[in-house]
Amino acid sequence: MPAFSPPVRPSVRPPVGTLFVVATPLGNLEDLTARAARVLREVPVVAAEDTRRARKLLNHLEARPRLVSYHAHSDEGRLESVVAHILNGEDVALVSDAGTPAVSDPGAALVQAVRDAGGTVVPVAGPSAVAAALSASGIAGDRFLFLGFLPRKGPERARLLRQAASSEWTIVFYEAPHRLRELLDDLAEAMGAGRRAMVGRELTKLHEELRVGPIQELQEHWSQTEPRGECTVVVEGTGYVAAAPADPDEARRLARELLESGRSRREAARDVAERTGLSRNEAYKLVMELA
């Protein structure tokens, strides 16, 4: 009689956890939503951009999750360890220093990694410096261009400033206080000192300041006052203006100058399109003919 062999049972995989992307207060703790407070009390793990700041919020809530660091400079191993919590069936809350994670803050890579691994991602909406500044600026917010923190220098900063200057929509920037004066100077040069703007400083905090006026007035004020606290800058767009027909002779002259100055064909075509109103395809065709 053959020996008895027990049936092989399939291994049971634990249910996959959820990544909660939790918006936290910009400054005033009363802005934390009841849902965010509940999630932070219930999850076993919180991934935080700054664990010290997160600990203060968690202590205020009398929440005791395991706190792990996850920030812009975290390596691949840290990302994988957070995803591992999700795959092991643990829920994780992602928080940034303030406001909504992954909006000019670390988090997008983790969100995508969790989704790729089969986990669930749930946003827990709440405070956002972009929305707060727009709502109090008096500048149209029905359509806007968010550029976050500009590169500190170089061609990419110049390109984004050109894009901001020509935008028909309102533009929103984030800026550190020690670089605010430089940003205002660059904005004045790119789009004119008369363009209306707002600097929102220390939003929702005790020393909140919202200063609105032409860029020139903001330059004058901050040249005499030391900026303090994180800043959100809102700048009025150009408004919709129908593009004038492109001058083919001017476009050809500009393209030739750019190529002779050493610009690549791609760069020359981009600049010709931006400066003359030609479509990208037309500008590229023109540059290729000259090249």
Mark whether 24 and 109 lie in a shared domain.
Answer: yes
Q: What is the pLDDT of residue 1?
A: 47
Mark whether 146 and 167 lie in a shared domain.
Answer: yes
Mark whether 154 and 226 lie in a shared domain.
Answer: yes
Q: Round to whole Å and give the CA distance between 134 and 128.
A: 10
- Residue 222 falls within a domain, yes or no? yes
Q: What is the pLDDT of residue 13?
A: 59
Its domain, for residue 187, covers 130-235
Mark whether 112 and 162 lie in a shared domain.
Answer: no
Structural domain ending residue among the three candidates 127, 145, 171: 127
Q: What is the pLDDT of residue 72?
A: 84
Mark whether 58 and 70 lie in a shared domain.
Answer: yes
- Residue 3 falls within a domain, yes or no? no
Q: Round to whole Å and give the CA distance between 192 and 278.
A: 24
Q: What is the 3-state secondary structure (H, E, C) of 59-98?
A: HHHCCCCEEEECCCCCCHHHHHHHHHHHHCCCCEEEECCC
Mark whether 116 and 147 lie in a shared domain.
Answer: no
- Residue 84 falls within a domain, yes or no? yes
Mark whether 108 and 152 lie in a shared domain.
Answer: no
Task: Locate 15 and state its tokens.
Answer: 């249910």
- Residue 203 falls within a domain, yes or no? yes
- Residue 76 falls within a domain, yes or no? yes
Q: What is the pLDDT of residue 121?
A: 97
In this structure, what CATH number is given to the domain that contains residue 49?
3.40.1010.10
- Residue 99 falls within a domain, yes or no? yes
Classify burial at 40, counting beta carbons within 10 Å of its beta carbon; exposed 0-12, middle 13-18, buried 19 or more: buried
Mark whether 139 and 122 lie in a shared domain.
Answer: no
This prediction's pTM = 0.76
Cα-trace Rg, the chain: 25
Mark whether 113 and 179 lie in a shared domain.
Answer: no
Q: What is the pLDDT of residue 48?
A: 96
Q: Round to whole Å and give the CA distance between 178 and 149.
A: 13
How do the pLDDT tens digits run along the chain, 291 residues long?
455 555 555 555 568 999 999 999 999 999 999 999 999 999 999 999 999 999 999 999 999 999 999 998 888 889 999 999 999 999 999 999 999 999 987 899 999 999 999 999 999 999 999 999 999 999 999 999 999 999 999 999 999 999 999 899 999 999 999 999 999 999 999 999 999 999 999 999 999 999 999 999 999 999 999 999 999 999 999 885 545 566 788 888 888 888 888 878 888 888 888 777 777 788 888 888 887
- Residue 6 falls within a domain, yes or no? no
- Residue 8 falls within a domain, yes or no? no
Structural domain ending residue among the three candidates 86, 102, 127: 127
Structural domain ending residue among the three candidates 94, 127, 160: 127
In this structure, what CATH number is given to the domain that contains residue 202?
3.30.950.10
Mark whether 109 and 164 lie in a shared domain.
Answer: no
Cβ proximity of 170 and 234 under 8 Å: yes
Mark whether 169 and 104 lie in a shared domain.
Answer: no
Indicate the number of domains in the chain. Answer: 3
Mark whether 150 and 185 lie in a shared domain.
Answer: yes
